[in-house]
Amino acid sequence: MLVTRLTKLLGIEIPVVQGGMQWVGYPKLVAAVSNAGGLGVLTALSQANPEALRTAIRETKKLTSKPFGVNITILPSITPPPYEVYARVAVEEGIRIFETAGNNPGPLIKYFKENGCKVIHKCTTIRHAKSAQKLGVDVLSIDGFECAGHPGEEDIGGMILLARAAQELKIPFIASGGIADGRGLAAALALGADGVNMGTRFVCTEESSVHQNIKEAIVKATEQDTTHIFRTLGNTSRVFKNKIAKEVVAIERRPGGAKFEDIRELVSGARGKLVYETGDVDAGVWTAGLTLGLIKDIPTCEVLLKNMVKEAEQVITGVGNLVQAQAKL
């Protein structure tokens, strides 16, 4: 058994969080992760409106009696969704664990803390993590350069970020990006983390609603099958290297660069959703982390987490055996 500050704080058995993922964090997957001992997380903005989130929360509660959370990610938008309404609905439905990410999370964090909630906030730099710590979050999710989605603009890998987090942070933190097995979990714990956050690995499980073709594409892929888009726009995102992603990168590399309007249609969320629904790998852009190189099967969440803990314990024990008392003269 792996007992950390994270498991004690959230009342979970295994120090693994299923990160909020657009078009992936639905009730069936969330409940499966929580039932397996980790923390499942519903993605609020995968729901069409706040009342749809209310329905999803109630559906998840029918599937699990274990703790689960809700993710609210604040992204730049001309017409932003009603984040505060999503938050209020979740609190009204009894959710007391939230994962936040994105720009200016202060107001949301303040609201959650006023309502007795635990907050996990995702950061890609130590300075942002320290700012979030001052805002009163309970756990920090430290996203390394390996992660799917938005890794920030400083290109710092998890090894350095986690070691720096251990030096600088006072509250629990978890590792996000580049983790898909027990060896990664053990490494994160060795670097000072209290657990891990996984996204791409949970996409490729039986309970994930993502089309089977996409799961099989993940299994066949390697760590070389991702690319970055939006680099020239200062909003870098790691995605699966498909035809659409390559086209976006080519447009960004044109002399004079590119404006968002030049690629808007290619990167629309609606097209990304089609990937997961239809199984067409090239229907749109879809996020994927470097863990593509580590994923070799499509297990249930229960089998995945059970095997992760077993492997992590074996690695930790093996490393511990390297320490030997000095022989007496």
The predicted model scores a pTM of 0.96
What are the φ and ψ backbone dihedral angles of 8, each rounded to 5 degrees? Answer: -70, -40
What is the domain count for the chain? 1
Residue 279 in any domain: the answer is: no
Pairing state between β 237-240 and 226-229: antiparallel
| pLDDT score of 204 | 98
DSSP 81-138: --HHHHHHHHHHTT--EEEEEES--HHHHHHHHHTT-EEEEEESSHHHHHHHHHHT-S
Residue 118, CA distances (Å) to 40, 71, 126, 132, 148 in order: 14, 12, 20, 13, 24
Residue 231 in any domain: the answer is: no
Look up residue 311 and give its two tokens: 């492997």
Residue 273 in any domain: the answer is: no
| pLDDT score of 56 | 98
DSSP class of residue 326 equals: P
How far is residue 173's CA from residue 132's CA, in Å, rounded to a whole number? 12
**By residue range, what is the domain housing residue 193?**
5-210
Q: Which of 35, 43, 46 has its CA nearest to residue 19?
A: 43
| pLDDT score of 327 | 55
Residue 98 in any domain: the answer is: yes
Note down pLDDT in tens along the chain; length 329 residues: 899 999 999 999 999 999 999 999 999 999 999 999 999 999 999 999 999 999 999 999 999 999 999 999 998 777 899 999 999 999 999 999 999 999 889 999 999 999 999 999 999 999 999 999 999 999 999 999 999 999 999 999 999 999 999 999 999 999 999 999 999 999 999 999 999 999 999 999 999 999 999 999 999 999 999 999 999 999 999 999 999 999 999 999 999 889 999 999 999 999 999 999 999 999 999 999 999 999 999 999 999 999 999 999 999 999 999 998 665 55
Q: Are 108 and 83 in contact (CB under 8 A)?
A: yes
Residue 230 in any domain: the answer is: no
CA atoms within 13 A on the CB side of 80: 13
Could you tell me where the beta strands, DSSP code E, fall in the chain? 16-18, 40-43, 68-74, 97-102, 118-123, 139-143, 173-176, 196-198, 226-229, 237-240
Helix (H) or strand (E) holding 212: helix 212-220
Dihedral sign for Cα 326, 317, 294, 201, please.
negative
Residue 312 in any domain: the answer is: no
CATH number, domain with residue 40: 3.20.20.70
Q: Are 24 and 209 in contact (CB under 8 A)?
A: yes
Q: Which of 190, 118, 178, 113 has its CA nearest to residue 151?
A: 178
Residue 74 in any domain: the answer is: yes
Q: Could you tell me how many residues make up the chain?
A: 329
| pLDDT score of 75 | 83
How far is residue 36's CA from residue 309's CA, in Å, rounded to a whole number? 11
Residue 253 in any domain: the answer is: no
How open is the CA angle 154-155-160, to the nearest 5 degrees? 100
| pLDDT score of 311 | 98
C-alpha dihedral, 276 to 277 to 280 to 284, nearest 10°: -60
Q: Are 184 and 198 in contact (CB under 8 A)?
A: no
